[in-house]
Chain A
Amino acid sequence: MAARRTLLASLVLACLAQACYGNVLFSSLQRTLIVSASPQPGQVLKAGEDKITVTWRYNESFAAGTDSAYKTVNVKLCYAPVSQVDRAWRKTVDNLAKDKTCQHAIVSKPYSPANQSYEWLVQKDVPEATYFVRAYALNAEGVQVGFGQTTDKNKTTDLFAVQAISGRHASLDIASVCFSAFSVVSLVGFFLAEKRKAKPSSAPN
């Protein structure tokens, strides 16, 4: 009974936290992190094979104490505008709860103002698109309070591409073709069987 009450309480708290979580506007965040990534501008990386090394650190030119609330850093792979055209499911919206620009998580690490880096294998489920890297600094409640990214304000420089896996395999291709052929052949077989059955029945019953 007590366990159930605790569960209910934590559920309520989680919902409240969720409610607070959602109202941050991207335009209100300061670019307090300096982020860089290993790919050259225009480089094409292969999903599942190539690696990205991301480095980030606090930008000391900001007033002291700006980063006092920072607890964690979330590094994400984000879509460049050219890959968002005619794709509403990747839309950039100022309200971070509804923003869909950054859909692939790279790493989440505790915050430290010094230089940090991480090597990430481009996952196999990353789609073919043009990307940049962005890091969000989160406070203790998990709310975004700062960011940094590899590209400029308009997201036009230092972009790189990922070539996705197709998901196809030779075995799948062969299976598809074989079953398709079987489907057509069995139809022909049925027709022939029907013709053969029809012949003797034309005799008077």
Chain B
Amino acid sequence: MEVAGAESPGRAKFALPVDSEHKATVFRLFSLASPHMRTFHLSWVSFFACFVSTFAAPPLLPVIRDDLNLTATDIGNAGIASVSGAVFARVAMGTACDLFGPRLASASLILITAPAVYCSSIANSATSFLLVRFFTGFSLATFVSTQFWMSSMFSPPVVGSANGVAAGWGNLGGGATQLIMPLVFGIIRDAGAVKFTAWRIAFFVPALFQMLTAFMIMFFGQDMPDGHVRKLQKSGEKPKDEFSRVLYHGATNYRGWILALTYGYSFGVELTIDNIIAEYFYDRFDLKLHTAGMVAASFGLANAFSRPAGGWLSDAMSRRFGMRGRLWALWAVQTTEGVLCVVLGRVRSLGVSVAVMIAFSVFVQAACGLTFGVVPFVSRRSLGVISGMTGGGGNVGAVLTQLIFFKGSKYSKETGITLMGIMIICCTLPITLIYFPQWGGMFCGPSSAKGTTEEDYYLSEWSDKEREKGFHQASLKFADNSRKERGSRRGELATAPEEKSSDPEQEA
């Protein structure tokens, strides 16, 4: 049943097996197959570049704070500013992806924030330093376009893994920069520059890298497996959606708000730790700055496998237990994260502290990966808005935790860390409230009432008039593909009354 007026796309040849929406059903990490895997590599590298830029300042602070005559309060405020810009940028980015497609949206944001990174070189006061960190931080909204892009290119059974690896390898930038920037600074200084000039020159490296990734996205990327959003809109295959409706359906979905809150206590905590952990080890255990930087880097570098592991765990739980498995895994991992955070603040010896921190980093990042195993299913029409809200919520969590626990001298850093752990455990409880009528929630099974199938859930986002015009076709395909979220036991038995004969492209 094809929409009148839209030509059915010629059966395009894809390198990877695809479903009825032409999304890849397998995730082959080391392939560059166009468009799916190529998109993956473009999006994680550009997100990595944005993380490198946003956290380029912390490892060089010992030099910058002397050059700009900063106080601890100035540094704390700049740290909060660096993560607060992205709160609204992420929500805006979600909408932009829904309307213009992730390729244009992400490339535009990256090119607009690159000047902030270049201008870090000419900062000359606490105020200008805060401003450049604030505007550079906007680039972290590319997280949303990354997740949106992965959800557009990969099918539900593998979307958790794709999202997890893309985001994890992007977040890696926060750790890599703690190694890269001191190295670049050292090279420039040894080449003859004065310390106060060397750090300024060093900032050109992340800035150029960021700009380069934007160019690569524009030249080599495409929005969806079938082409660019604009082209598809013009040819009528992808109807141009209405901003207010997209926003409405995203904002009125309570699950989006719950995930926004809980993501603040996985990803938000990760950002806070990125900003404070080097100083914590330096002060509490009298490490050299260089050593403290390496410990700080290892927190962020664990992202290489922890966040993808979260995504894989989500997909593995889904295969057996469906959406309920994804929710249980998320709650369990994030609560363990909270417990480890409490322990981290209490431990007194250096060796145990590093070990706890590494365990903590694995659980924090896995929780992030698990969150985005659930996000793609909350809404189909407003996927961008939901991704943006969740992403924005992550940054709100970072702002809140830094404001409450790590600004000024109210709490010592170790007490702040312990209290943050308690807050994590409390703010993870709302996951128990998430309920999908077609799949169930943590404590309740799926509803057996009429009108609670996948189709009903996703089509409820479209009005009758919109359905008449056929705007809901993509949601219909998605609903069909998401039936696997019932888990292995239910999925084989139940058949929804309006289930179509299986599309030959869909994998059994």
Contact (Cβ within 8 A) B230 A183: no
Q: B111 near A: Cβ within 8 Å?
A: yes
The answer to whether A88 and B283 have CB atoms under 8 Å apart is yes
Check if A89 sits within 8 Å of B62, measured CB to CB.
Answer: yes
Query: Is there an interface contact between A176 and B118, defined as CB atoms closer than 8 Å?
Result: yes
A184 x B72 contact (CB < 8 A): no
- Measured between alpha carbons, how far is A177 from B234 in the docked complex, in Å? 38
Complex: A129 Cα to B69 Cα, angstroms: 8
Q: In the bound complex, what is the Cα–Cα distance between A139 and B23 (angstroms)?
A: 74
A186 and B215 contact, Cβ closer than 8 Å, known pairs A89-B62, A167-B67? yes
Within the complex, the shortest CB–CB distance from B233 to chain A, in Å, comes to 9
Does A125 touch B at the CB level, under 8 Å? Answer: yes
Chain A residues 146 to 205 lying within 8 A of chain B, measured CB to CB, are 164-169, 172-173, 175-177, 179-181, 183-184, 186-187, 190-191, 194, 198, 201-202, 205
Q: Does B286 contact A (CB under 8 A)?
A: yes
Measured CA separation A187–B103 after assembly (Å): 12
Interface size on B, residues (CB 8 A): 41
A residues less than 8 Å from B119 (CB atoms): 176, 180
Indicate if A85 sits at the interface (CB-CB under 8 A).
yes
Please determine whether A127 and B235 come into contact, CB atoms closer than 8 angstroms: no
A145 and B343 alpha carbons, distance in the complex (Å) = 42
B196 near A125 (CB under 8 angstroms)?
Answer: yes
Q: A165 — which chain B residues lie within 8 A by C-beta?
A: 194, 196
- Beyond A89-B65, A165-B196, A168-B124, whether A184 also contacts B235 by CB under 8 A is no
From known contacts A89-B65, A176-B122, A186-B215, infer whether A168 and B200 are also in contact, taking CB-CB under 8 Å: yes
Find the B residue at minimum CB distance from A181: B115
User: Contacts A85-B71, A88-B72, A168-B122 hold; do A184 and B115 have CB atoms under 8 A apart?
Assistant: yes
Q: What are the residues of chain A within 8 A of B122 when measuring CB–CB?
A: 168, 172-173, 176
- Mask of A42-83 contacts with B, CB within 8 angstroms, 1/0: 000000000000000000000000000000000000000000
Partner of B115, one of A167, A169, A180: A180
A87 within 8 A of B: yes
B207 interface residue (CB < 8 Å to A): yes
Q: Are B235 and A201 in contact (CB under 8 A)?
A: yes
Least distance between B47 CB and chain A CB atoms (Å): 18
Query: Which B residues are in CB contact (< 8 Å) with A129?
Result: 69
Are B196 and A167 closer than 8 Å at their CB atoms?
yes
Question: Which A residues are in CB contact (< 8 Å) with B7?
Answer: 205
Q: A180 near B114 (CB under 8 angstroms)?
A: yes
Q: Which residues of A contact B111 (CB under 8 A)?
A: 183-184, 186-187
Residues 267-287 of chain B, each 1 if its beta carbon lies under 8 Å from chain A, else 0 = 000000000000000010010
Interface residues of B in 67-122 (CB under 8 A from A): 67, 69, 71-73, 104, 107-108, 111-112, 114-115, 118-119, 121-122
For the complex, is B204 an interface residue (Cβ under 8 Å from A)? yes
Task: Determine whether B471 belongs to the interface, using a CB cutoff of 8 Å to chain A.
Answer: no
* Assembly CA distance A175 to B286 (angstroms): 39
Contact present for A202 and B118 (CB under 8 Å): no
Compute how far the CA of A169 lies from the CA of B119 in the bound complex, rounded to whole angstroms: 13
The answer, yes or no, to whether B238 is at the interface (CB within 8 Å) is: no
Contact among A167, A177, A187 with B200 in the assembled complex (CB-CB below 8 Å)? A167
For the complex, what is the distance from the CA of A173 to the CA of B265, rounded to whole Å?
Answer: 40
Interface status of B20 (Cβ within 8 A of chain A): no
Which residues does chain B contribute within 8 Å of A128, judged by CB atoms? 69
Judge if A109 is at the interface, Cβ distance under 8 Å: no
Known contacts A198-B230, A205-B235; A183/B67 CB under 8 A: no
Which residues of A, 108-141, contact B by the 8 Å Cβ criterion?
A: 124-125, 127-129
What are the residues of chain A within 8 A of B72 when measuring CB–CB?
A: 86-88
Q: Which residues of B contact A164 (CB under 8 A)?
A: 66-67, 69, 196
With both beta carbons as reference points, the residue of chain A lying nearest to B109 in the complex is identified as A187
A86 touches B200 (CB 8 A): no
Counting CB contacts under 8 A, is B197 at the interface? Answer: yes
Tell me the minimal C-beta distance from A168 to chain B in angstroms.
6
Q: Is B218 an interface residue (CB 8 A)?
A: yes
In the complex, what residue of chain B is closest to A48 when comparing beta carbons? Answer: B194
Q: B134 interface residue, CB < 8 Å from A?
A: no
Bound-state CA distance A167–B194 (Å) is 7
Chain B residues whose C-beta falls within 8 Å of the C-beta of A168 in the assembled complex:
121-122, 124, 197, 200
Interface centre among A85, A98, A201 (most CB of B within 10 A): A201
For chain B, residues 195 to 240, give those with C-beta under 8 angstroms from any C-beta of chain A: 195-197, 199-201, 204, 207-208, 211, 214-215, 218, 230-231, 234-235
Residue from B66, B107, B230 having most chain A Cβ neighbours under 10 A:
B66
Closest residue to A83 on the B side, CB-wise? B69
Q: How far is the CA of A173 from the CA of B104 in the complex (A)?
A: 29
Docked complex Cα distance between A198 and B100 (Å): 13
Bound complex: CA A185 to CA B368 (Å):
36
In whole Å, how far is B84's beta carbon from the nearest beta carbon of chain A? 21
B234–A98 CB distance below 8 A: no
Q: Which residue of A lies closest to B207 (CB)?
A: A179
- Measured CA separation A173–B121 after assembly (Å): 8
A-B contacts, 27 of them at CB < 8 A, read A85-B71, A87-B65, A88-B283, A124-B195, A124-B196, A125-B196, A127-B67, A164-B69, A164-B196, A165-B194, A167-B195, A167-B196, A173-B122, A176-B121, A179-B115, A179-B118, A179-B204, A179-B207, A180-B119, A183-B112, A184-B112, A187-B107, A187-B108, A187-B112, A194-B104, A194-B230, A202-B234
Sample of 11 more A-B contacts, CB < 8 Å, known A86-B71, A87-B71, A179-B207: A88-B283, A127-B66, A176-B118, A176-B121, A179-B208, A180-B119, A190-B107, A190-B218, A198-B230, A201-B234, A202-B235
**Top 5 A-B residue pairs of the complex, sorted by shortest distance between their CB atoms:** A167-B196, A180-B115, A127-B66, A86-B71, A187-B111
